[in-house]
Amino acid sequence: MSSKVVLKAKGKSTKGSKPSDDNSTSKLLKEWSTWTIKKAKVITHYGFIPLIIIIGMNSDPKPSISQLLSPV
């Protein structure tokens, strides 16, 4: 008794056809845009509060850092 292993490919099968330039270009564009959005989220997450403090320090009248960070 022999068992046969069948492997199925996920997604669309492209038997006998080469990947087109449009497909690879769109895939690269999607990967690049996903990478860019992820990096932008991290930069925004860690850079927002320091940006607000810097803007507050450069405003008139010039507050001290303790005045900026205190809730009163």
**pLDDT digit string (tens) for 28-72?**
999 999 999 999 999 999 999 889 888 888 888 887 888 878 877
Contacts of 56 (CB under 8 A, 6+ apart): 63, 68
Number of alpha carbons in the 13 Å side-chain half-sphere of residue 50: 5
Cα–Cα dist 57/64, whole Å: 7
pLDDT beyond 80 at 21: no
Amino acid at 51: L
